[in-house]
Amino acid sequence: MSNLRYQLLPNRPVDTADILVLPVPHEQTVSYKPGTRKGPEAILDATAQLEYFEEDGNWSPLMHMGICVVPPLGKQLYERAVDYHRRLARSAAALPDGPLILALGGEHSITPALVQARMPEPGTVVCLDAHADLRRHFEGTELSHACPMHHIRAAGHGVLLAGVRSLMDEEAARVRDDDAIECHRDRALHRPAAWQALLERLAGLDGPVWLTVDMDVFSPAEVPGVGTPQPGGLGWYDVVELVETLIANPRIDLRGCDIVELVPEPSCVSEMVAAKLSQRMISCWGRRQGFHEAPATGSQSEVSYD
């Protein structure tokens, strides 16, 4: 059992929890600002400052759901990167099927292993990101934070990118030539028609889906603590609307979510945004599953906070 906690709540046993939080403090291919390995613990620390009541959902999700933070899964000393990613996939695959899987990174290179584990059949990966992440290799490795969407597409999944405002020529060509890759670029999304089209697309998806949120999708004015910041970007309520629209879609089979590329910074604003985003994911998924009508026997019921 992990010593880490979500909102300071006691960890339920893995096989009885409704939410499984998987910290993945992996940082191997940093190319600009270091610190992503510290992201998972910083996000969990920030959840201690969240109120249990989720104001937009109008309920306290963890009063009705049990949560468990499983032990962190980081790279071992002398472990080859390829072996680490295989171990990550095996560990994620071994988690129970019923709960929501929420992984906290760590760099974005962790996402393909998570998708492989939880979505082995063809599905759609929705990626909110400032970058296309479609490079075949970067700085001498295919397991870079710049390559996850390449691996996911190569595995047969469709890719829906939103918030992109930085990509290479080759990546732009792949988006143009591959109908299974959609790219909703950041500046266009600030136009009402393009924004509405994206919302309708998310609401119309069906089948298996994995949601990955790179924190650099946010404007750096709101989230400065990321590995590769870019000017422009989405705001808090923009990202919340995208996440809520997707998770509330009754036609998708949400296999899990991840939040990646958080680099803790002195103001603690960035990690608080990530923590609050994780709570919104949990809340929206819980309401979709009907937990808001379940007995108040969740993890919050085990503590006194008067």
> The tokens of 272 are what?
């608080």
Cα–Cα distance, 85 to 26 (Å, whole number): 10
Q: Which two tokens stand for residue 184?
A: 């909703």
Which among 280, 258, 152 has a CA at the least distance from the CA of 214?
A: 258
pLDDT tens per residue, range 49-108 = 999 999 999 999 999 999 999 999 999 989 999 999 999 999 999 999 999 999 999 999
Q: Flag whether pLDDT at 136 surpasses 90.
A: no
239 closest CA partner among 204, 299, 283, 280: 280
Query: pLDDT-derived band of residue 147, with 50, 70 and 90 as boundaries?
Result: confident
Q: Average pLDDT, whole number, for the chain?
A: 96
> Torsions phi, psi of 192, nearest 5?
-55, -40
Which pLDDT band, with edges at 50, 70 and 90, does 15 fall under?
Answer: very high
Residue among 208, 206, 195, 205 nearest 239 (CA): 195
Backbone angles phi, psi at 169, to 5 degrees: -55, -45
The pLDDT, as a whole number, for residue 18 is 98
Q: Which two tokens stand for residue 132?
A: 């296309």
Measured CA to CA, the distance from residue 139 to residue 122 in angstroms comes to 29
Q: What integer is the mean pLDDT of 195-209?
A: 98
pLDDT given for residue 305 in this prediction: 75
Distance, in Å, from the CA atom of 239 to the CA atom of 274, rounded to the nearest integer, reads: 11
Residue found by looking up tokens 């492989």 in the block? 116
Quick one: pLDDT at residue 142? 85
d(C-alpha 142, C-alpha 305), whole Å:
47
Confidence of residue 227 (pLDDT cuts 50, 70, 90): very high
Query: What pLDDT shows up at residue 30?
Result: 87
Q: Report if pTM > 0.85.
A: yes
Q: Is the pLDDT of residue 188 over 60?
A: yes
75 versus 140: the higher-pLDDT residue is: 75
Instruction: Kindly state the tokens that stand for 245.
Output: 């629209």
Q: Are 245 and 237 in contact (CB under 8 A)?
A: no
| pLDDT beyond 90 at 146 | no
